[in-house]
Each structure stands twice: as structure tokens, then as C-alpha cells.
Amino acid sequence: GEEVAQTPKHLVRGEGQKAKLYCAPIKGHSYVFWYQQVLKNEFKFLISFQNENVFDETGMPKERFSAKCLPNSPCSLEIQATKLEDSAVYFCASSQSRVESGGYTFGSGTRLTVV
């Protein structure tokens, strides 16, 4: 399809519970990016993939966050033992290349609320 599909749209988890978010990139796009947006403010880069390989994971808090992009499956971002400060909107984006002449295409985001 021509849109980046993120599911679920909303997710509520109790502190300490696991959260798993999904992202289906646009077909034919080789790169996938995850960003975290807190309080409608800055977009914090988390991780990027080139196909199923991690391209850049320097933004990930590795002790609790993990991500995968497996062939023929939506990409996923998993947070183990969620904390209150993980409450944010998580955006996924895809592009055909790292330096995309048309920019990245973003999904509508998953709003995670940790209570």
C-alpha cells in the first residue's frame, strides 16, 4: 500500500507491563525508522532498519527497548517493563533510501499511555 500502517492507534499499559507496537512500511521501501514524540514536542530518533538489518540503533534505550523488521511481517517495537516516561506517541516512517528526495513517509503513530 501507499501508506505506513501503524497498529494499534492507542495502547494503555500498567507500569511494568510489556508493550508491542507494529509498523507496516510502504511496499518497496527498504528503510524503516522509529521515532518517539513526547508532549507534541521533539521527535527523538530511536532506531532505523535497512530491510531486516538494524542500520542505526544509537537512539534506543537498549535495556528495555527492542525492535525487529522480519521479512514478510510488520516491523515491531517492543518495550519490556514499561515506565511512566515511556508515555508518548511512537511514529514509524519508511523511505526508499536513506537520503530520500521525497522525504520520509510517516504513519499516524501509536499513542502509548503508561499508567
Residues near other proteins (CB under 8 A): 4, 33, 35, 40-43, 45, 48, 55-56, 59, 91, 93, 98-109
Which of 5, 20 has the CB closer to other proteins?
A: 5
Q: Which is nearer to other proteins, 22 or 43 (CB)?
A: 43
Give the residue with the Cβ less far from other proteins, 15 or 42. 42
Residue spans of beta strands (DSSP E) within 1-115: 5-7, 10-13, 19-24, 31-37, 43-50, 53-56, 65-68, 75-79, 88-95, 105-106, 110-114
Shortest Cβ distance from residue 22 to other proteins (Å)?
Answer: 15
Min separation Cβ 57 and other proteins, Å: 11
CB 78 within 8 A of CB 66: yes
DSSP bridge pairs for 74: none
